[in-house]
Chains A and B, each alone.
Chain A
Amino acid sequence: GAVVSQHPSWVICKSGTSVKIECRSLDFQATTMFWYRQFPKQSLMLMATSNEGSKATYEQGVEKDKFLINHASLTLSTLTVTSAHPEDSSFYICSARDHKGPNQPQHFGDGTRLSIL
């Protein structure tokens, strides 16, 4: 089946550090990738939609300048959490949809657990 690779899987860093997370579709091309955030015992909340070759679309309340998204190729999207603070600590998950057809499901990466000290 479709595989989405996400890394790093775990990041612990000091407040003020910028953290970059990569999301790759390994066996299919993805014109669209999605970035979610999940707090403990809560559901996934969509942060932004990453579009290959164009600007990302952010959900209401998500700061564009804080969460920088780049989707430079059909298989790679990156999320950079700039100047991270403890309240940014969360589980970040990317997903990708095979661009072959509109009914393809989203496939998720393994997630990145971010802990800001």
Chain B
Amino acid sequence: GQNIDQPTEMTATEGAIVQINCTYQTSGFNGLFWYQQHAGEAPTFLSYNVLDGLEEKGRFSSFLSRSKGYSYLLLKELQMKDSASYLCAVRVDYKLSFGAGTTVTVRA
């Protein structure tokens, strides 16, 4: 099976920066995705890495190191609306395997 680990919870202050780490051990690799999921809602796509390095998209950036089986999602200038669960997912062939998600709580 696939093994994808990320922290369960993180708390940060509005305006701060938070980094969510994800490590993976999978039987293959066709890309790593980050999704945001608010409670009771479906996930929304945030970012995608298939090659090593940093991908920047506004306040969100994602980094990948394939040799280390490691990725992180960086959230800058945190806003209250960023309070959500963040899911790391690895694509093997065309299937996505998800981590358990990291619940980020943003405090005023």
Q: Which residues of A contact B (CB under 8 A)?
A: 6, 32, 34, 42-46, 49, 91, 93, 95, 97, 102-103, 105-111, 113
Contact = CB atoms under 8 A, between A and B. Distances in A.
Interface residues of B, number: 21
B42 interface: yes
9 tightest A-B CB contacts, nearest first = A108-B42, A111-B42, A43-B98, A43-B100, A44-B98, A105-B45, A110-B42, A108-B43, A93-B42
A109 B44 CA distance: 9
Given A43-B87, A93-B42, A103-B48, A34 B95 contact: yes
A45 B94 CA distance: 15
B87 A44 contact: yes
A102 B96 contact: no
A42 B103 CA distance: 11
Nearest to B45: A105
A60 to B, nearest CB: 9
Interface string B42-60: 1111001010000000000
